[in-house]
Structure formats: structure tokens, C-alpha cells
Structure 1
Amino acid sequence: MATRLNPFGPEYLDDPYRVFKDARADARAYYSEDLGYWILTRYEDIRQVIRDTVNFSADAANTPLQPFGKPVLEELAKADFRPVRVLVDNDPPGHVRVRRQVNKAFNAQRVKLMEEPVRELTRRHIDRFAGQQEVEFVSALAWPLPALVLFHLFGMPDSYLEVVKNGSADRVILTTGRPDEQEALRAAKGLADFYALCRQLIDDRLENPRDDFPSDLIRAGEGQEEPLTTRELVQVMYSMLFAGHETTTGHLTHLVRRVLLEPGLWQRLREDRSLIPNVVEEVLRLEAPVINWRRRAKHDVEVGGVTIPADAKILLLLGSANHDEEFFEDADALQPERRNARHHLTFGFGEHLCLGAPLARLEGRVVLEELVDRFASPSLPEQELEFTPSILFRSPKALTITL
């Protein structure tokens, strides 16, 4: 079973949820020699690890799956790429210090004000393909929209779209995949350009503050005993500019696909839009764009009836937890009225709950509302989906829709 739980194997890439189902039935924990990780499959075990900052560290969250070679390191050095721990890979008390300042800048009021810009951007992109018979949904809407939403928040011009989107895709390949030497070097160049852009953005706002998130982030340190350093500010931008759109692109693609796969659901949503928020939660549960996450055991600790040794790397199968039959009744079914749909672990749990969760939910709701309003009965033609091999992420590269 540990061999089948291989994110780079054909069976897993084809349908990880079938593999997860067999794994949950077989055992709660495995050790993978190939990955060098302990793998957890059950909801309660995974939630326990995520919330427990005493026995488990988040410092493995951003660790490259395979070490960078010398050419990659030299390429990254050109951009002064020296990451520091700020959010997802930071433990208390350091995480608390950074998160408190980020929360002051990325607050509920700022997100609430984003609904109209998100709706306007969504309508603008839909207008471009509304008259077509078919559309490739990822490139037409899911790929650009989440980044452009962030640009609105961050005071960035749309011209940065290619650098940010391509650099983020290169980060996925370089840090969560198994690229060969040539592909790794190509990805390093894209990642370096992306990181340099984040540094340029912070340098500019330090000199020329505005009414945007980077400027608010800098201002959030005023009066603090330990304001964020310039390198930490750059790292926060690098983290949020990546996480704030890469995963939402996957979420929007999964959302539209799963709704179209459910007989009659599209028409139900046209007739009753109040179902849409919970449908968004159900698809976040069923098709997590971040399908796995990582932790490290600080010392010997028992989880799932197994003693995981100190310093061991742990792979948390979030996608498996979200399909756990012991927590979600009829777990593989999309149920628009499911009462505990929001209890999924797609956004994490506890202290490291995803900062961008409210914005991702907003984008999913608005995009689905606009699509069901505009198109009466779209459908999915027969097609094979392709996924980038990654230990953490799972999103279709393309999705064709007949309008």
C-alpha cells in the first residue's frame, strides 16, 4: 500500500481517491521508503497532527522534495533567494509574531470589499468566451482570475501576470515535484524572476507607501516590538502571491467540473443560488487543490497506533481525510445540503488555518454564481485530464467545457 501511495505513480495520478480509500481500509499509518515519509490517512489523526504544535513542527512544509543541485542554487542566488520562515513553515512563537502583523493588513474588512472587484473581473472574463461553443476553462478564467484579484489587493499592474503565474508553477515543479536537471534549472529561472518581483514590490512600498496590502503590511509593524524585517516582508509577499492564486486556480477548476458532473445540479443552482456556498465547501472537501500537507515529528510520538520517530517527516493526506467515511457520511458523494461540509481540512486547522480561505471561498461563490446565471446547460465533453506530478498539489492543467 505504501508503494501505491506514490504521488508520482500512474495509479495515484489517475485517481488518488481510490488509492486513499483502500489505504484507509488497510491502515491508519504507513512508512514510504520511496518518499522517506510517514503517511497518515484518517481524518482524526491528521487533524490531531495539524493542531498539535507541541509534538509536531511545521518547518517541513516548504522543504524541497529533492535537494537543489548546484546549477539551481546558482540561479536562485542571482535573485538573492534566501527564504526565511514566516507563515506555513513557522512554529510558535515566531509564527504568532508574523501572523499577528499579517492579519492586521489582510483583514476581514479588506476581503469583504473584494466582492465587487471579483465579480467585475469574473464577468469581464466570461464576456470574452460567452459566445463560443466550447471553452478551455483553465486558460480562459481559472488561470488568470485569482492572480488578478490579488493584484487588485496588492496594487500591482496586470502586466505581472505571466511572471507570477509561471513563477508559481515553476515553484510547484521545483519544490514539490521530481524534475530532472534540465527541467529544474528552467524552473529555477522562473522562480527567481518571481522572487525578485516580490523583493522589488517591497522595496518600492518602503519608499512609496500606498493604500494596498504591501503598504499595510509594512505599517502593521509600526509600534511593534519586533516589526517584520525587509527579508520577512519579501517572504510574506512571496508566500501569499503564490498561495493566494495557485491553489484557487485549482479550486475553481475542480468546482466547475464537479458541479457539471452531478446530474441536475447546475439547474438546481440556477433555481436556488442559496445552495452555492455549501456546494463550494463540498467541492473543497471532495477535490482539495492542496491534496497533501507536511509536518515533522519533534520527538517520538504515537499517531494512529504507530510510533513515529523523532525528526521523521510526515505526509498528511488531506484528500483522504476529507473522504473519511468515519467522519463524513456517504463521503464520496457531493451533497449540497451536507451539514458538516465546512469541517473539511482543505484549509488546514488551528493556528495555521489558511489566511486566504475567506478570499478563496468568495471567489468560488462569485464565479459559480456568474456562470450559472450566464449559461443554461453547459456540459463536459469526453476528455482526459492531465495533472502536474506533485507531492502536495492536484489541479487539472486544462478543462474543456461545452457552453
Structure 2
Amino acid sequence: MTSAPSQPAAEASGCPFHRAGEPAPNGCPVSSQAAAFDPFDRPYQLDPAEALRWSRDQEPVFWSPRLGYWVVSRYDDIKAIFRDNHTFSPSIALEKITPPSDEALAVLKRYDYGMHRTLVNEDEPAHMARRRELLDAFTPEALEAHAPMVRRLVRERLDAIIDRGRADLVAELFWEVPLTVALHFLGVPEEDMEQLRRFSVAHTLNTWGRPSPAQQVEVAEGVGRFWQYSGEVLRRMQARPNGHGWMHDMIAKNREKPDVVTDSYLHSMMMAIIVAAHETTALATANAFRQLLSRPAVWAELCANPALIPAAAEECLRHSGSVVAWRRIATREVAVGGVTIPEGGRILMVTASANHDPRHFENPDELDIYRDNAVDHLTFGYGSHQCMGKNLGRLEMRIFLEEFTRRLPHLELEEQTFTFLPNTSFRGPEALRVRWDPARNPERRDPAVRNAQRDFPIGAPESRAIVRRVRVTRAAPEAEGILGVTLADPAGGRLPAGSPGAHLDLVLPNGETRKYSLCGPADSGDWRLAVLREPEGRGGSRWVHETVTEGLALEVRGPRNHFRLDEGAERYLLIAGGIGITPIIAMADRLKALGKPYELHYAGRGRDTMAFLGRLERDHGAALRLYPRAEGARLDLATLLAEPREGSLIYACGPERLLDALARQTRHWPEGSLHVEHFSAEGTALDPEREHAFQVALADSDLTLEVPRDRTLLQTLRAAGIDVPSDCEEGLCGSCQVAVLDGEVDHRDKVLTASEREGQDRLMTCCSRARGKRLVLAL
């Protein structure tokens, strides 16, 4: 939406809506919902994502008068802010969100409190210079060494309660274990745990909470003691030059490079990391167990299939992560989501809301342990300020889940009211009471269960390992050469709905996968596919036609959607060729439900080879145009697309010749009018005999990597520990796109438009390469 011409000031400022109310700093009126927003109210404290649903739908960037911040709620906007830490400075990330009282400041002064910049709130170039010096302890190889210690701590504390039958998991495991792990990792002596717990709470309230004046003084006392304590511990550690742990590494760096790792920086990091390495993991683990145990069927599925534990932990981090918001300040006037934020504007990025954005995640409000893009969540941040300790937190959460699902699969939540420490940015229940019947403990029947652990690789879960079991409930012809297949949950539950354009990856017996679009209806609770038998194909469709029958168990991944329907257009042209009707019919269903004007043009060899004709004529007859070639009918694209239609979008799927023709016939349409889905990845495969090696410089990470002729750019990035999401890895989906800052790209994908390729500002890492000897990427 744009402002009305009658309000040029608001229009110039980027005002995206037009309502009465107190004006924002850019002159735009503030809506009633934005004016009422208060992150300390009960709705946000209980469920930040739900509290901002209205914002994701209506006002993804708004001014909050009560908070004095611009609030950003959508995934793409927040990710863009994270990526540009020059325009969006992190310097206020640890600023007190509630200004301290004079009495509280006096208390802090008495303790000589002097918290300086840390990795969290430091600007460039100082941030990357320090970060590079401190990364070695966070490599997968280094973190692997901590796994036995984490396992021992979890097992000891579980041993202490396993025969009791009741426990508060927060008090007895989830708080103490991450704290002990954090101290071990830092090299800090294990003492005064309860005091450290109080320190962490005080620090959280001091920075992100809204304490009363009396509470401010009490909190300041806790923060002051925390500062004093951490300084004493640091001095003892400096006196032991041969100690082990991350803080000892920093102390050594302080001696080697005192201008980079300064004395004041050591003290600030000591205090900050005790909180960061401990509290976020403790809260995230409590959130995960609360969500999983509140869904007994999901918990049972995880117990039965522990290979899903890494995926389940990641999905819990997405669905209910412990970090729900971060803050930035604009260093210049800048547009975010169509709204102009003035220089100096403070920004609250609610990552919990972004993690529930349906524009990026299918069925985002559902906890789906089979979700294969959960790793895209923003709970760890993104870009150069992404959490360095993310893989240590993952390691701890996975070990907690593995021990409990193996040793207490019959665990249940007790009835309770969950409470949370009131603040804007960190969230987890203060208690988590559970019960179980000790007589049913598996290790009473088989003592070997106690030690029969399963370990997982350090790092993000591999999407290809996240496989869902389904059962075929129908396999019948939809047309000549086309088999209709309906899939259901073997346990009788409802499968997650797929949005229009979504597809499944069907896993074949040889481990290969084939992609098949979901045909709808979206609310059926099952998944419906239509598979064309292709005699000249790679064998997947032949296997489906010859093997898939009712009752057969299959494995799938997804649903995923790289052909997403933009529901904001005024009208639509839907064009399908042959089996390309599969995603298009789902889009037609959705547009009809929305009441949007659309035309559906469907071409095929003959009616006997065209799937879903009966359903199409019944449900979409008024909008349907059929072009069976056997009857002399022809889809005349030149005539259909001769005149661009204002406010219209085109969605098409079919053979490559149809998509190529569409690209030619829509060159005079506005950029972005045509959206297509390709069937094949011809021309995207790596051919080492034809390739050349090249260098890639990662601007945000200050790394330079060599991409050999026999490896893709994506493979090279992952080998260096750089997280890049991907899906098809054939240049069809766009998941692995990264920004290009310099260099000429050899584009090989089927995603970018001609003008996007000419811009040379992005590439797909799975297939595209450098034309020359070097590329510079924003990674």
C-alpha cells in the first residue's frame, strides 16, 4: 500500500498505511494496534509470535510509541537488517531498554561497573577483527571434545531423579547443566552456582526488562556483584597462564594483541559470555521439552525415531526459541519493508515473529519435527553477528533429548501455569514440572539402556536426513500415463497442509529423490500427487508406476515451496502444460477461495492425457480454458500475452519449451510478472573436465577460499563451516542464493531472470561459478 496523494509528507517518508493516530518519527500515522503494542503486556510475554501476527499480516514495520522503537516482524526484513551491520548498527543490542534510575546508577557506580562493547554490540571494523581471533574454540572439531563432558553432566543429573517419578526439569537439570558447561567451556572454576544463577537473572532484567524503581536498585545490586565477581575470577585466571578454556585463549590473545583484545574487553566478555553461553541454552531446552511434551504424539514419534533429534531440536529453536528479539539502530535514513526509518531510529527485530512468517515457513505455527528448513530460523541471528556458540547449544539440546527419549520415553507434563521472566528478548518457562512412572523405566528391564547413547555430528542438521514415513491410501490413474497417489500419516493424524506451489521429495529405494507437486485440496489432511510416467526419464516415475500401490510405506521430505503464490495481486493468469497442472490446480483452488479473479489455461496432447479434467471443470469451469492438441486446440501465447495486464501475475508450469516461450512472450511485461517452475535442471550439473578453479572472498567472515574444479561453491562453503541453506542443489529452487559484491558470475541456475543475471549481484551457490578467477560474496 502507498500513502494517498493528499499526504505528501507521509508519502515521502515511506508510510505504508493511512490511519489516524499519534505520528511516528517519519511523519506516518500510527495505527491503533501499533499504538497499543507493549512487549511487556501478557500477550507478548506468553507468545511473541502470536502477539505480532497482526503485524506480519498488516504492518510488518511499525512505530511503537510505548517502546520508542521501530518494530520489525517479517522474516525477509529482519534477515536483511542482520546482513547489513553497517547501516543497522548493533551498538544498542545491550542498551538498557528501560532507562535506569539515578538510584540504580549510583549502585552500579559503587561497584565500579564498566561494561564495554562485546561481540554482540560491537561495530565494524573492531567486531570482525576480534571475532576472527576468537573463533578457533567454536569449530566442530573443538566442540566435539566437549561432548563427553556434556553427556556425563546430563546423565549424572538424570540418574539423580530417574527413580523419583517427579521433577522440575528447569531447577534440577536445564539450568545447572548449561551453566556448568558454560563454565567448563570458559575455563571458569565451578563454584557459586546459585549465585551465578541470580546474577544471570539480574543481568537479563537489567538489560531487557522493565523493573520498577525499587526493583531497579535490587537488580543493580545483582549486576554490580556479578561485575565484581567476574572481575575477581578473571584476575585469578590471568594468574594461571597455563589454564584451559575459552577465557584462557582470550587472555593469551590479550597478551599477543592487546590492541585487539583489550583488558576492558576481557572483563566485559567474561560477564557477557557467562550469560550468553548459559541462559540461552537453558531457556531453549526448557522451551523444547515444553513444546514436545505438550504434544504426546510428537514426543512418541521422536522416542521411536531418535534419528530425528537434531531436526526436532532445530524445529524447537524455530518454533519457540529462547532468543525472541534483537535490537539495532539505523546509522542513516533507510527503508525497511517499504517504511522509511530515520537516522538514529531504534529497531526491535522480533525474530520469534520472523520464525513464524508463512512467507518463509510452511505451516509456521505447527511444530513439525520433519521440517527440513527449520535451520533457516533466525534464533541464532544471521550474518557476521550470528551466534558463535550456536553449535555448542545444539550439542547440549540434542544430548538432553537423546538421554530423555531413551531413558524416560513415558515422560509427561504435569498440569501447571507457565511463568516467564518479563523482558523483551529472552524467553523460557521458569519451571517445567514433569512426572513419570519409575516402574516403566526401560532400564529397569534392560540396564544396558542407560548407556546405549546415540551421538550426532556437530552442526546444523542435514536436511537430507529428515525423512517422514507415510502410507499410500490410494494409487489410481488420473489420466493416461498419470498415476494419482494419496499419502497419509501412518498413525492416523493429519499431515501438514502444503501451500499452493509446494512439493514433496519422494525418497526412492536407492536413496535418490524425485520432486512431485502437491495437488490439493490443501485442507484434506493428506497429500495428493500426480506422477507422469516418463519412459526416457531417470527411472523415478517408472518406479512409482510399477511399485506404488495402496498400503505401501514410503519416505518423503517436505513439503517445501519454491514456487510460492503471491496473493497480493489484483488478478492472475495460470498456465499449465501437461503434468504442469499439478501445482497450478492448487493455486487455482486457493485463488478461488480468496475470491481473486483468475484465468486457468491448460494445454495437453489430448483429453485422455490431461489429469484432473473432471475436478477442474467442476471447481474452475468459469475460469478454465482447455487446449487439447488432438482436437486442434492451440494455446496462442503471443495473443494471450500481447498486452500486459496491469496488476496481473502469471504463474506457469510445464515443459521447458512452454516456459521458454513464456519468457519470450512476456519480455514487454513488467519485471516480476512471470513466475515459473522448472521440471529439469539441464545444464546445471558440475563437469570437472570443463571447469576451472577460482577464489571466493567472504566479506563478512574475512575468509578467502579456493573452489576447486571438482567441487561446487556450496560444497566449498560448507567445508569451511559457512552455513548456507539449500534444497534441490540443482539450480531450480533458489534456496542457496547469496549476494555477490564483486566479480563476474557464470550463472547456471533456472531461477534468476535475465535482468537479475545482468545485475551480477547474486548467484546460486549449488551450481553457478566465477567466470574469472575471483568472486566476493556477502557471507
Query: What is the CA–CA distance in structure 1 between the aligned matches of 2:363 and 2:163, rounded to whole Å?
Result: 39
What amino acid is the match of 1:159? E
What is the CA deviation profile of residues 364-391 of structure 1, one whole-angstrom value per residue up to 9, with x for unaligned ones?
0000000111112111122111111101
State the shift of 1:54 in Å: 2.5
Is 1:381 the counterpart of 2:417 in the alignment?
A: no
What amino acid is the match of 1:186? E
Query: What is the CA–CA distance in structure 2 between the aligned matches of 1:26 and 1:136, rounded to whole Å?
Result: 40
- Residue in structure 2 matched with residue 14 of structure 1 by the alignment: 46
Query: What is the CA–CA distance in structure 1 between the aligned matches of 2:35 and 2:309, rounded to whole Å?
Result: 38
Query: What is the CA–CA distance in structure 2 between the aligned matches of 1:298 and 1:156, rounded to whole Å?
Result: 37
Query: What is the CA–CA distance in structure 2 between the aligned matches of 1:89 and 1:373, rounded to whole Å?
Result: 40
What amino acid is the match of 1:13? Q
2:97–2:210 CA contact under 8 A, matched in 1: yes
Query: What is the CA–CA distance in structure 1 between the aligned matches of 2:256 and 2:196, rounded to whole Å?
Result: 32
**Map 1:72-83 → 2, pairs under 5 A:** 72-83=104-115
- Residue in structure 2 matched with residue 65 of structure 1 by the alignment: 97
- Residue in structure 2 matched with residue 90 of structure 1 by the alignment: 122
Query: What is the CA–CA distance in structure 2 between the aligned matches of 1:5 and 1:344, rounded to whole Å?
Result: 24
CA RMSD across the alignment: 1.5
1:163–1:190 CA contact under 8 A, matched in 2: no
Query: What is the CA–CA distance in structure 2 between the aligned matches of 1:271 and 1:4, rounded to whole Å?
Result: 46
- Residue in structure 1 matched with residue 217 of structure 2 by the alignment: 185
Bigger shift: residues 228-237 or 38-47: 228-237
- Which of these residues, 231, 234, 242, is aligned with residue 267 of structure 2? 234
Bigger shift: residues 331-340 or 313-322: 331-340
2:285–2:397 CA contact under 8 A, matched in 1: yes
- Which of these residues, 210, 224, 229, is aligned with residue 197 of structure 1? 229
Q: Which has the higher contact order (CA 8 A, sep 6+)?
A: 1
2:288 aligns to what SS in structure 1? helix
Query: What is the CA–CA distance in structure 1 between the aligned matches of 2:229 and 2:138, rounded to whole Å?
Result: 20
State the shift of 1:260 in Å: 1.0
1:86–1:98 CA contact under 8 A, matched in 2: no
TM-score normalized by the length of structure 1: 0.96
Using a 3 Å threshold, how does the CA distance of structure 1 residues 107 and 220 change in structure 2: closer, same or farther?
A: farther
- Higher-helix-fraction structure: 1
2:187–2:246 CA contact under 8 A, matched in 1: yes
1:155–1:212 CA contact under 8 A, matched in 2: yes
Aligned length: 403
Using a 3 Å threshold, how does the CA distance of structure 1 residues 142 and 48 change in structure 2: closer, same or farther?
A: same
Is 1:127 the counterpart of 2:159 in the alignment?
A: yes
- Residue in structure 1 matched with residue 70 of structure 2 by the alignment: 38
- Residue in structure 1 matched with residue 568 of structure 2 by the alignment: none
What is the CA deviation profile of residues 96-120 of structure 1, one whole-angstrom value per residue up to 9, with x for unaligned ones?
1221222234544332111110010
What amino acid is the match of 2:294? L
What amino acid is the match of 1:322? N
Using a 3 Å threshold, how does the CA distance of structure 1 residues 3 and 248 change in structure 2: closer, same or farther?
A: farther
Query: What is the CA–CA distance in structure 2 between the aligned matches of 1:80 and 1:111, rounded to whole Å?
Result: 35
1:163–1:193 CA contact under 8 A, matched in 2: no
1:4–1:11 CA contact under 8 A, matched in 2: no
- Residue in structure 2 matched with residue 213 of structure 1 by the alignment: 246
1:244–1:356 CA contact under 8 A, matched in 2: yes
Long gaps (5+) in structure 1:
none
Using a 3 Å threshold, how does the CA distance of structure 1 residues 206 and 257 change in structure 2: closer, same or farther?
A: same
What amino acid is the match of 1:241? I
- Residue in structure 1 matched with residue 544 of structure 2 by the alignment: none
- Which of these residues, 320, 323, 331, is aligned with residue 353 of structure 2? 320
What is the CA deviation profile of residues 300-352 of structure 1, one whole-angstrom value per residue up to 9, with x for unaligned ones?
10001100011010000100000000000111112222111100000000000
1:31–1:39 CA contact under 8 A, matched in 2: yes
Max Rg structure: 2
- Which of these residues, 132, 141, 154, is aligned with residue 109 of structure 1? 141
Query: What is the CA–CA distance in structure 1 between the aligned matches of 2:36 and 2:65, rounded to whole Å?
Result: 12
1:266–1:377 CA contact under 8 A, matched in 2: no
State the shift of 1:358 in Å: 0.7
Is 1:52 the counterpart of 2:84 in the alignment?
A: yes
2:90–2:121 CA contact under 8 A, matched in 1: yes
Using a 3 Å threshold, how does the CA distance of structure 1 residues 81 and 300 change in structure 2: closer, same or farther?
A: same
State the shift of 1:177 in Å: 1.1
Identity, % of aligned positions: 33
1:104–1:217 CA contact under 8 A, matched in 2: no
Query: What is the CA–CA distance in structure 2 between the aligned matches of 1:108 and 1:237, rounded to whole Å?
Result: 22
